């Protein structure tokens, strides 16, 4: 699957782990791992919650389509 989200990149930039994010969202760590590896994508609603927990604009979590 093509890389669609930048969740893992933002977590690394903030020195946070997928496990931390899973705990913050009340999600299973394996689900967050699938999001981070782009094997599965979160819903738009969940993406908004992720952005809130990471204190970033939701657009920072999505790979841009234009250069």
Q: For residue range 5-41, list pLDDT tens digits in order.
A: 999 999 999 999 999 999 999 999 999 999 999 999 9
Q: Where are the domains of the chain?
A: 7-56
- What does pTM read for this prediction? 0.91
Assigned CATH for 7-56: 1.10.260.40
Residue 1: is its pLDDT beyond 70? no
Q: How far, in Å, CA of 9 to CA of 22, rounded?
A: 16
Token pair belonging to 34:
């699938």
DSSP 8-state assignment for residue 38 = T
- pLDDT category at 64 given cuts 50, 70, 90 is confident
């Amino acid at each position: 699957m093509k890389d669609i989200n930048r969740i893992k990149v933002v977590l690394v930039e903030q020195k946070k782990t997928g496990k931390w994010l899973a705990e913050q969202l009340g999600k299973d760590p394996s689900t967050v791992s699938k999001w981070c590896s782009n094997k599965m994508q979160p819903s738009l609603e969940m993406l908004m919650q992720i952005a809130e927990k990471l204190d970033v604009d939701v657009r920072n979590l999505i790979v841009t389509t234009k250069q």
